[in-house]
Amino acid sequence: MLDVITANTPLFLTGVFVFGLLIGSFLNVVILRLPARLEHDWRSQCKELLEIDNLDNEPAEAPPSIMWSRSHCPKCGYMIRSWENIPLLSYLLLHGRCSSCKAAISKRYPVIEAGTAVLFLMVAMHFGPSLQSLAALGLTAVLIALAVIDYDHQLLPDDLTFLLIWSGLFASLFNVFTDPVSSIIGALAGYLSLWLVYHVFRLLTGKEGMGYGDFKLLAALGAWLGWQMLPLIILLSSLVGAVIGLIMIGLKIHKSSQPMPFGPFIALAGWIAMLWGEHIIDAYLRSSGLGGL
């Protein structure tokens, strides 16, 4: 059955697109619940460390489980039925509203589902039915979750960044995107490069320009793609971040006085480098006259 799907390109791409919708639906759950669960765990650890019985504004119970708790309407608490939880389709059938209280459902949910499906489709079209495609789909999914969580909370959870670092090192054993030596050097160089920038910036300005999660995310991309891609990722993330930041400030979507998370730009640059990094580097070397050296 699998051979039939992978041999038939339209069927393979359709299957990947549908799979992307399903994964996008799950990513919505991760994006919503993981930060809440992390905060609850941190509060519990603080209570235990400080020997405090209760903390102000502490929820009565733990947030829902990522894997096992059913989805519900945040307004009325209505438990969402299975047919109301079909990616993208349910949103359209419900006209973007809860079937119980008629409260508007956030447009973010279908956007992330559709966006994940489109990115999965682009990955499948680029790599075809291969081990590279499977690995790239996994990397894409985690990068989406990290980018949105960082945008919302200025947080890159260790649960996800460490997952990427170790899985990238493991993938290098099979030369999926790079070899083990380049992967190990990439992880080290990715972390230390931003760590150095962070401390130099803090010494010069007395301010923190980024968080440690950014170091770990770049280390993860170095582990996946090798140290050779790090200059491109850093350049792309800085360029895209500056352009989008200026646009958001100009449109008054973001205030210049507020810090802007850098993780989404690192994630986007890493994804671009995964698909087209070699072509971009080759084009630059040819245009600069360094290709023949």
pLDDT string in tens for the chain (293-residue length) = 556 555 568 888 999 999 999 999 999 999 999 998 888 777 777 777 776 766 555 555 777 777 777 788 778 877 888 887 889 988 888 888 888 888 888 899 999 999 999 999 999 999 999 999 999 999 999 999 999 999 999 999 999 999 999 999 999 999 999 999 999 999 999 999 989 888 887 887 777 767 789 999 999 999 999 999 999 999 999 998 888 888 887 777 767 667 788 999 999 999 999 999 999 988 888 887 665 55
Together in a domain, 102 and 197: no
Helices (H) and strands (E) in the chain, counts: 10, 0
CA distance 45 to 61: 15
Number of structural domains (the chain) is 2
Which H helix or E strand runs over 34?
helix 9-50
Residue 254 falls in which region: left (phi positive, over 0), alpha (psi -120 to 50) or beta = beta
Structure tokens at 225: 């793609």
CA distance 131 to 133: 5
- Give the residue numbers spanning the domain of 277: 156-293
Q: Which residues contact 66 (CB under 8 A, 6 or more apart)?
A: 29, 30, 33, 34, 37
CA distance 203 to 199: 6
CA atoms within 13 A on the CB side of 31: 23
Together in a domain, 161 and 289: yes
Together in a domain, 19 and 84: yes
Together in a domain, 161 and 125: no
Query: Would you tell me how many other CB atoms lie within 10 Å of the CB of residue 56?
Result: 4
CA atoms within 13 A on the CB side of 130: 13
Together in a domain, 189 and 87: no
Together in a domain, 225 and 270: yes
Query: Would you tell me how many other CB atoms lie within 10 Å of the CB of residue 82?
Result: 8
